[in-house]
Amino acid sequence: MTTTTATIEAPAPKKMPVPRNGVDTPKLFATIAAVGDQPPLAEFRFRAESRWVKGTHSRSAMSGFYGAGGEMKHRAAFEADSDHPGVLCGEDQGPTPVEWVLHALAACLTAGIANIAAARGVTLESVECSVEGDIDLQGILGLSDKVRNGFRAIRVGFQVKGDAPAEKLRQIVEQSRARSAVFDILTNGVPVAIAVDAA
């Protein structure tokens, strides 16, 4: 009887995760399991060390961070410049600070999309992201107390291509949003403390 046969069959084996989209999916799953077993491994502290160059130009280095229970080093000491453009009295030696924020958001959501697609067995063909932010500089220029200093709105547009139906690709983007560190930081805010050593 087919019913009996069905009851003695072993349950269908879980699909084993395989590397996909350049994501080492088995390692990703193992990492999540390891952190689940030892939550203190999840405590990270990231850093940037910045030095003023001239005018509105500064340069940051991002080389070390704490995480997974110990002090870590990046493969290289990454450096990045920031400046204001000529129209804002800078020398345009790098993107503005607010453009770096948009870059961070695009990067965070995109990394999440690749990871989640791999975990769900979806192979991506391409992911493109446009981010824009609206800002009224009357705030930072001190011309109005009614205008906030930062962006009043940010819009993100994704173009995602992969071997899954459009609805499934959209769900992957939504899950990335729901678990994005930078999306959370930007939409919910973070307490920032500033200490000054002046001489």
Question: Residue type for 49, please?
Answer: E
- Least Å distance between CB 9 and a second copy? 31
User: Is the distance from CB of 175 to CB of 116 less than 8 angstroms?
Assistant: yes
Report the nearest approach of a second copy to the CB of residue 70 (Å).
Answer: 9
With b for 16 or more beta-carbon neighbours within 10 A and e for fewer, the 161-187 pattern comes to ebebeeeebeebbebbbeebebbeebe
Please report how close the Cβ of residue 13 comes to a second copy at its closest, in angstroms.
23
Q: At which residue do the structure tokens 């000491």 appear?
A: 77
Task: Report in angstroms how near the CB of residue 11 gets to a second copy at its nearest.
Answer: 24
Nearest residue (CB) to a second copy, 121 versus 139: 139
Contact between 173 and 158 under an 8 Å Cβ cutoff? The reply is: yes
